[in-house]
Every structure is written in structure tokens, then in C-alpha cells.
Amino acid sequence: MKIVFRCAPSLIDLLPRPVPARAMLPDWLRQMAARAPSELHQRSIRTVKQCPPFVDAMSHGFMLMLPCDVRVEQQRFSWDWALPPLQEGPHTELHGHPRSPLSFHVAEQLAGSPFAQSSPEHGAQAALKFNSFWTIELEPGWSLMATHPINRPDLPFRLLTGLVEADSFNAVGINFPAVWTDPDFNGLLPRGTPIAQCFPVPRQAIELVCEPMSPAHLTSYDALAGRIMAGPGVYRKGFRNKRGA
């Protein structure tokens, strides 16, 4: 799967480039213990750090990152980011190209949804929009799924998931709406903070088939379940696929 990212020529050396999501695993995952004592089990048990599906989901696809530092004070956002002129030719400025890392959706666009937020101090809350400085081109027949960085509730925002036909819609960047989820956060969102985890998905119809297990399926179920109950590492050693991205 070839994915092509493009940006304005004057930004090519300024922007953080998209990276495989496996390169952006958070420090808390790297630092957490692989095992922890369980009062219920009366022994040490494995943590999610040893759960391949948990870690592989966080490692899947690629990550887009915040292009500059953003300071947050009392839910007010500011940045100091001097961009060069964005030109499509020697004398013509690119029209409609963002110059700020953030913009906003008015609160009414979330009205009636579970994402709508309000507070006595601020009233109805606008949604964030992370502006994109990269265009993303996929191969024909593939769409782009963009979602909140997986298993990352530690980030003070929540990206809204979207699906874009990026094999054809790729002349401009894709912007990413989000809601701010931590009203007590004051501080810095540093350049390079992951904002969107993306991966290609095939655009094709699916067929759902429900049927009872055959005798062969029942035998396979019993054999594999027995192996899993007998000891750890069955999935990791025998079924896990080492992904290239």
C-alpha cells in the first residue's frame, strides 16, 4: 500500500511528517509493567502491555501530528507560528490554505449529538478542528479511516472518527474535528502531539454469513481453547502477523 503525502513547497522542511503509528507509542505504554499483582487472582497477572491486539491496534496505520506548539489556558488556545508565504507559483498565494494549526466548528454543529458540551462558565462549547497541512493520496479503491489515536484517553481531546475517499479526494488536506475533553487542562500541547491515527480501508461491499459450527469447527474450537487455557502466548506465537506499518 503506497500512501503519498504532499504539502506546500515552502512547508516541506517545516512540518512534522506523518509516521507509522508504531513509532508513536506513548511513554506510559513503554513504562508500564508487563505484570501486576492481582488481589482477586492472588498472583501476578499480565497487563495490557502483553496483549497483542491492544498494542497492534495502537501500532496500526500512520499518525498525523500537531505542527506547532499550542498553549491552552482556561480553554483558550494560542500559538506563535510564523509561516512563510504559501505560493502555488512565483507570485500567487494559495487560496483557502490554512495558516493556523487550529480552527473551530460552532457549537450548533454538535447539537443533539453525544459530543455536545456546555458549562456554566463558557456556555455551549465549540468543537476544535485540527487543520491539515498535508494532502493524502491513496491507491484506487481505498478510503481513509481517521480516528482518535487508539487507546489514548490520556490526550485532552477526542477526535471524531471520519471516513474519506482519499483515492479521489486528495487535492486538498483533510481537517480533523475534535472535542476538548479535559476542562482542567492548562499547559502546552507540544509540536508532534499525535492528533489523528489513520489507515486505509478497502471500499467494497461486505457479506455477512451466520451459521452453526460444523463438527470440524467444534473440534478446532475445543483444541485452540485448550491451548489458550494451558498457557500464555498462543496468539502471539502462532497467529500474530508482524505488520510493516
Give the whole-number percent of the chain exceeding pLDDT 90. 72
User: What pLDDT, on the 0 to 100 scale, is given for residue 226?
Assistant: 95
Phi, psi of 50 (to 5 degrees): -100, 15
Question: Tens digit of pLDDT for each residue in 104-119?
Answer: 988 888 888 888 887 7
Q: What is the dihedral sign for C-alpha 65, 69, 73, 75?
A: negative
Q: Are 108 and 146 in contact (CB under 8 A)?
A: no
**Which amino acid makes up residue 186?**
N
Question: Tens digit of pLDDT for each residue in 169-217?
Answer: 999 999 999 999 998 999 999 999 999 999 999 999 999 999 999 999 9
Confidence of residue 122 (pLDDT cuts 50, 70, 90): low
Burial (CB count <10 Å: 0-12, 13-18, 19+), residue 25: middle
Confidence of residue 83 (pLDDT cuts 50, 70, 90): confident
- C-alpha distance from residue 119 to each of 24, 116, 131, 155, 207 (Å): 33, 11, 25, 20, 45
* Dihedral-angle region of residue 96 (phi above 0 means left; psi in -120 to 50 means alpha; beta otherwise): left
* Residue appearing with cell numbers 490554505: 97
pLDDT over threshold 60, residue 100? yes
Name which residue leads in pLDDT, 163 or 243.
163
User: What pLDDT, on the 0 to 100 scale, is given for residue 120?
Assistant: 64
pLDDT over threshold 70, residue 245? no
What's the length of the chain? Answer: 245
**Alpha-carbon torsion angle 162, 164, 166, 170, nearest 10:** -90
Q: Which CATH superfamily is domain 4-82+96-208 in?
A: Deoxyuridine triphosphatase (dUTPase) (2.70.40.10)
3-state SS record for the chain: CCCEEECCHHHCCCCCCCEEHHHHCCHHHHHCCCEEEECCCCEEEECHHHCHHHHHHHHCCEEEECCCCEEEECCEEECCCCCCCCECCCCCECCCCCCCCEEEECHHHHCCCCCCCEECCCEECCEEEECCCCEEECCCCEEEEEECCCCCCCCCEEECCEEECCCCCCCCCCCEEEEECCCCCCEEECCCCEEEEEEEEECCCCCCCCCCCCHHHHHHHHHHHHHHHHCCCHHHHHCCCCCCC
